[in-house]
Amino acid sequence: MMRAPYPDIVFHFTKREGLYGIIKDSSFKLSYAKENIEYISNFKEFAIPIVAFCDLRISELPFHMKKYGNFGIGLTKEWAQENGLNPVAYMNKKSELTNNLIEAIEHQFKLIENPDDPLDDENRNIYFKTLNVLRYIKNYEGILIRNNKRSPKTYRFADEREWRYVLPFVDEYFLNSFASIKLLDEKGKTWLNNTIDSHRLNFSPSDIKYIIVPNEKNIRPIRTHIENEVFDDKDKQHLLTRILTAAQIKLDM
């Protein structure tokens, strides 16, 4: 029987402290991420409060882990769908579709900002929902910037097959999404993230399919962390059997 091209798992990668916090709280914190969408005549820069995941098979993860680290967690696709995660739409920057979409969105955003002709609540809500499309698109390829370092060559973002959870539509957070200038330094990013600190993307231990740590020496600490948290015995046993190492994935899968 031929297997489907997409797995039934979405993975999130983070640092060690991030993974331990996710397991402890059974939830993900949202963080503002800066996006730069290029199109034929210009580019649009903005920031989005999200949690990002990749829709990759375990055998495909080594490529992804080289860029995002070896601490990760995989949850069921059913959980992802039930909680409103959505695949990113990858756009060719030279496509007429991309150009028309961005220009239309830019026009609508200017209408909302116009103090001389304020929109009524109904039309304001419609415009915001149209603008919301921007939070789910990404260039098919471009320059990858990680830790303030630019990739030396074009990076194909579509290879990540990103799914993202975006903070639900709320005026004040939505407007902050376009204040990306505040993300040019860590102080600005911290300020923005503090405005959404109370929002979480929750899950149950049973939703977890895999917990990934770099190598064998990381297994005992993560087991101890799980055993010390307030889970019932069934959940603890489930989590303890979910642990994989990045070294094992790279070698065997």
Asked if pLDDT for residue 2 goes beyond 70, the answer is no
For residue 166, the model assigns a pLDDT of 92
Helices marked H in the chain — which ranges?
16-25, 61-68, 77-82, 96-113, 121-131, 171-176, 186-194, 219-228, 233-240, 246-252
- pLDDT tens per residue across span 161-183: 999 999 887 655 665 666 566 66
- pLDDT tens per residue across span 20-32: 999 999 999 999 8
Taking alpha carbons only, the member of 86, 83, 87 closest to residue 27 is 83
For residue 9, the model assigns a pLDDT of 96
Q: Is the pTM of this model over 0.95?
A: no
- The owner of tokens 């579709």 is 97
- Determine which of 35-39, 87-91, 231-235 has the lowest per-residue pLDDT on average: 35-39
Task: Give yes or no for a contact between 33 and 50, defined as CB atoms under 8 angstroms apart.
Answer: yes
